[in-house]
């Protein structure tokens, strides 16, 4: 097989679609076949994690847990939502946000609305439901990337670049692929003036993880802000009230209060694989999370003063990239599986920004030390004594986000990524697909 034949495969969207679906199936079957393992106390617990308290961990000692624990948390939340009405009690964390050691490890930390949505999976056999869930997450990323204003080959290169992070996210059976897809799809719908869909995706993302609300900042770039606001309010009320179909209003309000309480407790001291975690592990800076977040918010908002760039398509894309990276590197609960979102942001920045050797070097730095740092490319000793303890996975994305902010503050051209095809895209390996 010659190089031209290889390129014909690499640059074919249908090949990527098949691979993303296959990844969802393969990972799901693998996790299912691994069977059960007995819970033992972790050797290196994270002191700030809400679960690392004797009163919780003692409940799990000797329990049999699956390798797809996160999916079970989501699936079982539907039943716990129903149970809330029967077991309503305003004392302590009961109902949807209680502890369920006979079912899964950890708390459910999502909204009552997300628990309602999981009713679609609740009655499926675990293998089938898990497979559909992972395929949903993979397809959300695939189709969202296909909405970006890049040539087909660039979209394919972007999907190849984020492929390993996609596998990491699927292996943890979390919702990060879905979150990434919703945030990028909201941008795509805004570009096509599909206001109702754009705001729906943002609100859905917010009801999964509150940081999805950052997507609302994109509203500034498009006409018809009043429609954006009205649709956003409509979806917020409708989706927030959906659980009323199965539980009464009093119970739903109580569950939202429990959700807020649990998030607050869980976030009290955690730093995650983030800027705060990097500062702690590299420089011994403790109790910096509040100040780091404030600085991060201010830096994120600074480019918005350039209101004359609001119609610049490149500026919009780089703002999307900034959002995707920001919500992870400044997230106190960021973990390896969440970096599908940040790495997608890095890739969007690279293909939207002007060509430059230093940008290519930084992209490969992200690929090596973010995407592959937790894989077998690095020996176990290096991962255990260097990669994990020093929050190495976050550092390249922190640098990339600084580069995005620099580009947002210094860009002068007003051309769209498609119009720049002759200038920048071929250098980054993308010509228009045949």
Task: For 365-393, write each residue's pLDDT tens digit.
Answer: 999 999 999 999 999 999 999 999 999 99
Location of structure tokens 């204003």? 149
Q: How far is CA 57 from CA 50, 106, 265, in A?
A: 10, 9, 16
300-322: average pLDDT:
96
Task: Please report the pLDDT score of residue 421 as a whole number.
Answer: 42
105-121: average pLDDT:
94
In order, the DSSP letters of 130-195 are HHHHHHHHHHHHHHHHTTSSS-HHHHHHHHHHTHHHHHHHHHTT-SHHHHHHHHHHHHHHHHTT-H
Could you tell me what percent of the chain has a pLDDT over 90? 73
221-245: average pLDDT:
96
Q: Six-digit token pair at 123?
A: 């009655």
Task: Please report the pLDDT score of residue 23 as a whole number.
Answer: 97
228-252: average pLDDT:
95
- Spans of all domains in the chain: 3-410
Tell which residue, 218, 179, 180, has the closest CA to residue 198.
218
Taking the C-alpha atoms of residue 340 and residue 327, their distance in angstroms, rounded to an integer, is: 11
Q: Six-digit token pair at 176?
A: 């990060």
> Which stretch of DSSP H or E encloses residue 65?
strand 64-65
Confidence of residue 204 (pLDDT cuts 50, 70, 90): very high
Q: How many other CB atoms are there within 10 angstroms of residue 127's CB atom? A: 14
Confidence of residue 106 (pLDDT cuts 50, 70, 90): confident
Location of structure tokens 């002068």? 412
pLDDT digits (tens, 9 = 90+) for 323-340: 999 999 999 889 999 999
303-329: average pLDDT:
96
pTM of the predicted model, to two decimals?
0.92
> Which stretch of DSSP H or E encloses residue 196?
helix 195-208
Helices (H) and strands (E) in the chain, counts: 20, 2
Tell which residue, 68, 81, 72, 139, has the closest CA to residue 114.
81
Taking the C-alpha atoms of residue 234 and residue 228, their distance in angstroms, rounded to an integer, is: 10
**Phi and psi of 286, rounded to 5°?**
-105, 165
Confidence of residue 414 (pLDDT cuts 50, 70, 90): low
pLDDT digits (tens, 9 = 90+) for 213-226: 999 999 999 999 99
Mean pLDDT of the chain: 89
pLDDT digits (tens, 9 = 90+) for 73-99: 999 999 999 876 555 555 444 678 888
361 pLDDT exceeds 70? yes
Tell which residue, 326, 324, 330, 309, has the closest CA to residue 408.
309
Confidence of residue 429 (pLDDT cuts 50, 70, 90): very low
Q: Is 318 exposed, middle or buried (0-12, 13-18, 19+ CB in 10 A)?
A: buried
Task: Please report the pLDDT score of residue 16 as a whole number.
Answer: 96
Task: Please report the pLDDT score of residue 95 as a whole number.
Answer: 78
**Phi and psi of 64, rounded to 5°?**
-95, 125
Task: Please report the pLDDT score of residue 333 as a whole number.
Answer: 85
Query: How many Å from the N-terminal Cα to the C-terminal Cα in the chain?
Result: 20
pLDDT digits (tens, 9 = 90+) for 28-68: 999 999 998 887 765 455 555 677 777 777 888 888 889 99
Decide: helix, strand or coil at residue 339: helix
Task: Please report the pLDDT score of residue 3 as a whole number.
Answer: 75
Task: Please report the pLDDT score of residue 42 as a whole number.
Answer: 58
Work out whether the CA dihedral 24, 27, 30, 34 comes out positive or negative.
Answer: negative
148-158: average pLDDT:
96
- Which own/partner contact pairs does 239-247 have at CB distance under 8 Å and 24+ positions apart? 239/113, 239/203, 239/204, 239/207, 240/111, 240/113, 240/207, 242/113, 242/116, 243/81, 243/112, 243/113, 243/115, 243/116, 245/116, 246/81, 246/82, 246/85, 246/116, 247/81, 247/82, 247/84, 247/85, 247/112
Task: Please report the pLDDT score of residue 61 as a whole number.
Answer: 80
Contact 326, 296 (CB under 8 A): yes
pLDDT digits (tens, 9 = 90+) for 168-181: 999 999 999 999 99
């Amino acid at each position: 097989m010659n190089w031209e034949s290889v390129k014909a495969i690499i640059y074919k969207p249908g090949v990527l679609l098949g691979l993303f679906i296959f990844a969802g199936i393969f990972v799901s079957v693998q996790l299912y076949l691994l069977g059960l393992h007995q819970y033992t106390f972790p050797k290196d617990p994270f002191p700030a994690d809400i679960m690392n308290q004797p009163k919780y961990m003692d409940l799990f000692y000797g329990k049999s847990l699956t390798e797809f624990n996160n999916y079970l948390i989501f699936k079982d939340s539907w039943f716990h939502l129903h149970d809330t009405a029967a077991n309503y009690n305003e004392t302590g964390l009961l109902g949807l946000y209680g502890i369920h050691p006979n079912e899964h490890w950890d708390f459910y930390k999502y909204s009552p609305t997300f628990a309602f949505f999981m009713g679609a999976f609740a009655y499926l056999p675990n293998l089938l439901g898990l497979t559909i869930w992972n395929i949903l997450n993979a397809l959300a990323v695939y189709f969202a990337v296909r909405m970006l204003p890049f040539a087909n080959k660039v979209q394919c290169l972007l999907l190849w670049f984020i492929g390993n992070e996609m596998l990491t996210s699927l292996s943890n059976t979390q919702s990060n692929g879905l979150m990434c897809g919703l945030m990028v799809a909201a941008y795509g719908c805004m570009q096509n003036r599909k206001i109702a869909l754009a705001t729906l995706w943002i609100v859905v993302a917010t009801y999964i993880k509150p940081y999805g609300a950052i997507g609302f900042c994109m509203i500034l770039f498009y006409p018809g802000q009043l429609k954006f606001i009205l649709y956003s309010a409509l979806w917020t009320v409708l989706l927030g009230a959906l659980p009323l179909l199965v539980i009464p209003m009093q119970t739903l309000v109580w569950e939202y209060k429990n959700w807020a309480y649990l998030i607050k407790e869980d976030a009290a001291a955690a730093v995650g694989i983030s800027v705060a975690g990097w500062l702690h592990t590299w420089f011994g800076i403790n109790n910096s999370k509040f100040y780091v977040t404030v600085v991060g918010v201010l830096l994120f908002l600074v480019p918005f003063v350039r209101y004359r760039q609001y119609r610049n398509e490149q500026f919009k894309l780089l703002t999307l990239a900034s959002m995707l990276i920001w919500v992870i590197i400044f997230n106190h609960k960021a973990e390896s599986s969440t970096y599908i979102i940040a790495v997608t942001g890095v890739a969007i920045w690279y293909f939207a920004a002007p060509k430059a050797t230093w940008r290519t070097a930084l992209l490969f730095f992200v690929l090596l030390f973010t995407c592959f740092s937790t894989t077998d490319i690095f020996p176990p000793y290096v991962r255990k004594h260097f990669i994990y303890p020093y929050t190495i996975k976050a550092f390249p994305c922190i640098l990339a986000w600084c580069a995005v902010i620099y580009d947002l503050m210094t860009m002068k051209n007003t051309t769209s990524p498609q119009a720049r095809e002759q200038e920048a895209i071929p250098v980054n390996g993308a010509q228009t697909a045949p």
